[in-house]
Structure 1
């Protein structure tokens, strides 16, 4: 008993420290002035390749930015017509965005033969950059969010978006004060750990971190359920187990 009491005190102290550390980390990543994010009222453009990207990969970011009172716009570079379901998928995208709090007037879908929904087709980053810049300027955007160089899933269309944004950033073509955040790709194990990945996400380097509450996670799942044409069995498993349905780690360019 004499040994057990100090041990229990030590365990309790470690648990308290852990809770305080996690809470402190949460406070740091949700305060825009500390996370380096633009403040409330900012205009953020989420750039995706296909309908369902916004729910499958970026729901924590969209809902996290809503907490920070950002006005979120979505620029989707294809209608997702790989299986000739483009018209259906456009409607599903608008429904998903409605669940996530993005009004139809803030959703822009590009239908251009130069940007087909096809993992075997490589989009020209310069062409993508030109279209993207037009939308950034037209909507007075001060934060652009898109995929990192890994594209989360390795999809060539995702990676083309990163290449385009990186080109604009490197060449100094983005408007003054416009920042770029990219969504971290993680390895396959971490990708399917769901909330169990949170310790890694907190410990590893990142510039911004968004973690959904239970209520927000249910909202993200409702958004994904709008994409009925895409809900094959493996995507249903994805919704249950993917960290991207709960956690987004992002870095500034």
Structure 2
């Protein structure tokens, strides 16, 4: 009886793994190059956007990273800039396509109020420099983790959208409720069971493949100055390690 149970569980796990692999291949984007990912701090890309970055890399979409602060809250801004370049390289982002902003009105800190106008100017400046951005991706109005700097980035990009000509696609990472934020690998389960990854240009789900589930951890290792014990736990149990729900901003 014990052997039968083990065999049955093994078969179920194998089927779930195959379905996960299938759904990760189906999930993804129809986004065209070039994509600008607007972040608040170095390590946001690794902690929150790994499934999306994996999907874009797999589709050979050119990605740009604009980080609106160097994370200098503890006086480690220069070191954290270097860490972002290393993490970007891990995700296949060329160094020339990464900009880290160090502006007096955009300093890292829960109590620091960021100017939407300055954010808009920085994003516009980078877009003019790049010249070929077709899609902007950033946080939603809840800022994923509720960090005020994340929310400010959303507000700044939304203000930019309202003043841009049509044609530029603006997307946001959907924040998950606390109930579903720290379910770890279980975040994949609804998509595996119901294959609910239908995609459009403005709404899609990026699911990390089984063989790449380690990528968020590997990217966070590039941010050595920030990778303390509780961030290990965050990466393991965060649903953003495995699934990104992307929708129109």
Question: Could you say whether these structures have the same fold, taking a TM-score greater than 0.5 normalized by the shorter chain as the test?
Answer: yes
Aligned residue among 75, 92, 97 for 1:84: 75
Which residue in the other structure is 2:237 paired with? 241
TM, length-normalised to structure 1: 0.82
Q: Does the CA contact (< 8 Å) of 2:205 and 2:246 recur in 1?
A: yes
Superposed structure 1 runs of 4+ greater than 6 Å apart: 18-25
Residue 55 (structure 1) shift: 0.3
Report the number of matched residues. 230
Aligned residue among 210, 215, 220 for 2:211: 215
Aligned residue among 89, 107, 121 for 1:116: 107
Aligned residue among 174, 177, 182 for 1:187: 177
**Uncovered stretches (5+) of structure 1, i.e. residues with no partner:** 1-15
Which residue in the other structure is 2:98 paired with? 107
What is the alpha-carbon distance in structure 2 between the residues aligned to residue 160 and residue 31 of structure 1?
26
Residue 216 (structure 1) shift: 2.3
1:21–1:115: structure 2 CA closer, same or farther, 3 Å change rule? Answer: same
Residue 189 (structure 1) shift: 2.2
Residue 224 (str. 1) matches residue 216 (str. 2): no
What is the alpha-carbon distance in structure 2 between the residues aligned to residue 59 and residue 110 of structure 1?
21
The structure with the largest alpha-carbon Rg is 1
- Residues 179-221 of structure 1: CA deviation (Å, up to 9, x unaligned): 0110010112211112212244665998111111133222332
Residue 177 (structure 1) shift: 2.2
Root-mean-square deviation (Å): 2.6
Residue 152 (str. 1) matches residue 159 (str. 2): no
- Residues 38-66 of structure 1: CA deviation (Å, up to 9, x unaligned): 3xxx1000100001001001111111111
TM, length-normalised to structure 2: 0.83
